[in-house]
Amino acid sequence: MRYISQLIILCLFLTFYSGYAQHTVVSNQISGMANKPAWWKEAVVYQLYPRSFKDSDGDGVGDLKGIISKLDYLKSLGIDAVWLNPIFSSPNDDNGYDISDYRNIMKEFGTMQDFDELLAGLHKRNIKLILDMVLNHSSDEHEWFKQSKSSRTNPYRNYYHWWPEEKGKPTPRYSFFDVNNDAWKYDAATKSYYLHYFSQKQPDLNWENEKLRNEVYDMMKFWLDKGIDGLRMDAFQYAAKDTTWKKYPEGYEKNIIKYYGMGPNLHNYLKEMNKTVIRKYNVMTVAEGAGSTLEDAHALVDEDRNELNMAYHFEIMDIGNDPKGYKLTDLKKTFTKWDNSFADNGWLAIFLANHDVPRMVSKFGNDSPEFRRYSSKLLTTLIMTMRGTPFYFNGDELGMSNIKFDAIEDYRDIATINAYKNIKAKGEDIKAFMDKQKFISRDNTRTPFQWNDTANAGFTTGKPWIKVNPNYKMVNVAAEEKDPDSELSYFKKIVALRKASPVLVYGAYQVFDIENPDVYCYTRSNGKDKMLVILNFSGKAISYSLNKDIDTASAEVLINNYAKAALKQNQIKLLPWQSIVYKIN
Ligand code: NOJ
Query: How do residues 434-489 score in pLDDT, each as one tens digit?
Result: 999 999 999 999 999 999 999 999 999 999 999 999 999 999 999 999 999 999 99
Tell whether the model's pLDDT for residue 530 goes beyond 60. Answer: yes
Which of 2, 87, 94 maximizes ligand 1 atoms within 8 Å of its Cβ, making it the mutation to test the pocket? 94
Q: Hey, whose CA ends up nearest to atom 3 of ligand 1?
A: 356
156 and 173: one domain? Answer: yes
Ligand 1 centre distance from Cα of residue 206 (Å): 18
Contact indicator for 126, 76 with CB cutoff of 8 Å: no
Indicate whether 430 belongs to any domain: yes
d(CA 180, CA 422) in angstroms, rounded, equals 6
Structural domain of 165:
143-195
pLDDT of residue 17: 32
d(CA 476, CA 397) in angstroms, rounded, equals 10
Please write down the HEC assignment for all residues of 45-56: EEEECHHHCCCC
**Residue 188's beta-bridge partner residues?**
none
Tell whether the model's pLDDT for residue 379 goes beyond 70. Answer: yes
Q: Hey, whose CA ends up nearest to atom 11 of ligand 1?
A: 97
pLDDT digits (tens, 9 = 90+) for 107-119: 999 999 999 999 9
**Residue 185's beta-bridge partner residues?**
194
47 and 152: one domain? Answer: no
The verdict on whether 234 is a catalytic residue reads yes
List Cβ neighbours of 408 (8 Å cut-off, separation of 6 or more). 416, 417, 420, 434
Q: Within its chain, how far is the Cα of 133 from the centroid? A: 14
383 and 244: one domain? Answer: yes
65 sits in which H/E element = helix 64-69
Ligand 1 centre distance from Cα of residue 95 (Å): 9
Among residues 233, 8, 248, which one has the least CA distance to residue 137?
Answer: 233
* Cα distance between the two ends of the chain: 47
d(CA 474, CA 403) in angstroms, rounded, equals 14
Which of 449, 477, 495 is the C-terminal boundary of a domain? 495
179 and 316: one domain? Answer: no
The band of 12, judged by pLDDT with boundaries at 50, 70 and 90, is very low
Q: Where are the alpha helices (DSSP H) in 236-348?
A: 256-260, 266-276, 294-301, 328-341
Give the three-state DSSP class for 192: strand
Average pLDDT over residues 398-405: 98
d(CA 293, CA 395) in angstroms, rounded, equals 31
Indicate whether 565 belongs to any domain: no
d(CA 26, CA 29) in angstroms, rounded, equals 10
Indicate whether 525 belongs to any domain: no
Position 530, amino acid:
K
125 and 164: one domain? Answer: no
pLDDT digits (tens, 9 = 90+) for 244-254: 999 999 999 99
217 and 352: one domain? Answer: yes
Tell whether the model's pLDDT for residue 21 goes beyond 60. Answer: no
**Is the pTM for the entire model greater than 0.85?**
yes
Ligand 1 centre distance from Cα of residue 354 (Å): 11
Average pLDDT over residues 158-187: 98
pLDDT digits (tens, 9 = 90+) for 73-119: 999 999 999 999 999 999 999 999 999 999 999 999 999 999 999 99
pLDDT of residue 33: 72
109 and 229: one domain? Answer: yes
* Ligand 1-lining residues (CB < 6 angstroms): 94, 97, 134, 198, 234-235, 288, 355-356
Q: Where are the alpha helices (DSSP H) in 192-303?
A: 210-225, 256-260, 266-276, 294-301
Contact indicator for 425, 179 with CB cutoff of 8 Å: yes
Report the CATH number at residue 355.
3.20.20.80
Position 43, amino acid:
A
Indicate whether 316 belongs to any domain: yes
d(CA 461, CA 562) in angstroms, rounded, equals 37
Query: Which position among 63, 253, 288, 339 bears the catalytic label?
Result: 288
Position 499, amino acid:
K
The verdict on whether 288 is a catalytic residue reads yes
354 and 437: one domain? Answer: yes
Indicate whether 296 belongs to any domain: yes
Indicate whether 25 belongs to any domain: no
Question: CA dihedral in degrees (47, 213, 247, 238; nearest 10)?
Answer: -10
Report the CATH number at residue 180.
3.90.400.10
Tell whether the model's pLDDT for residue 31 goes beyond 70. Answer: no
pLDDT digits (tens, 9 = 90+) for 273-300: 999 999 999 999 999 999 999 999 999 9
pLDDT of residue 56: 98
Q: For residue 557, which phi and psi values (nearest 5 degrees)?
A: -70, 125
Indicate whether 205 belongs to any domain: no
Q: Cα–Cα distances in Å, from 117 out to 123, 232, 563?
A: 10, 21, 42
Which of 443, 472, 495 is the C-terminal boundary of a domain? 495
234 and 359: one domain? Answer: yes
In the chain, % of residues over pLDDT 70: 95
338 and 414: one domain? Answer: yes
Q: Hey, whose CA ends up nearest to atom 10 of ligand 1?
A: 97
DSSP output for 73-117:
HHHHHT-SEEEEPP-EE---TTTTSS-SEEEEE-GGG--HHHHHH
Indicate whether 467 belongs to any domain: yes
The band of 168, judged by pLDDT with boundaries at 50, 70 and 90, is very high
pLDDT of residue 345: 94
DSSP output for 358-410:
--HHHHTS--STTTHHHHHHHHHHHHHHSSSEEEEETTGGGT------SSGGG
Which of 495, 519, 550 is the C-terminal boundary of a domain? 495
Query: Which position among 80, 93, 178, 234 bears the catalytic label?
Result: 234
185 and 333: one domain? Answer: no
- b/e burial code for range 340-377 (CB count within 10 A of at least 16 → b): bbbbbbbbbbbbbbbbbbbbbbbbbbbbeeebbbbbbb
What does the mean pLDDT of the chain come to? Answer: 94
Ligand 1 centre distance from Cα of residue 575 (Å): 38
Tell whether the model's pLDDT for residue 28 goes beyond 90. Answer: no
Contact indicator for 64, 33 with CB cutoff of 8 Å: no
In the chain, % of residues over pLDDT 90: 93
114 and 164: one domain? Answer: no
Among residues 270, 188, 186, 177, which one has the least CA distance to residue 231?
Answer: 270
Tell whether the model's pLDDT for residue 3 goes beyond 70. Answer: no
Question: For ligand 1, what atom is nearest to the CA of residue 97?
Answer: 11
Among residues 497, 580, 571, 495, which one has the least CA distance to residue 536?
Answer: 580
pLDDT of residue 568: 95
The band of 32, judged by pLDDT with boundaries at 50, 70 and 90, is low
The band of 376, judged by pLDDT with boundaries at 50, 70 and 90, is very high
Beta-carbon count within 10 A of 554 CB: 9
Q: Hey, whose CA ends up nearest to atom 6 of ligand 1?
A: 97
Q: Cα–Cα distances in Å, from 387 out to 204, 225, 384, 535?
A: 34, 31, 8, 16
Among residues 340, 288, 352, which one has the least CA distance to residue 34?
Answer: 340
**Residue 88's beta-bridge partner residues?**
105
- b/e burial code for range 99-128 (CB count within 10 A of at least 16 → b): bbbbeebbebbbeeebbebbbebbeeeebb
Beta-carbon count within 10 A of 525 CB: 18
For the chain, how many structural domains are there in total? 2
**Residue 60's beta-bridge partner residues?**
none
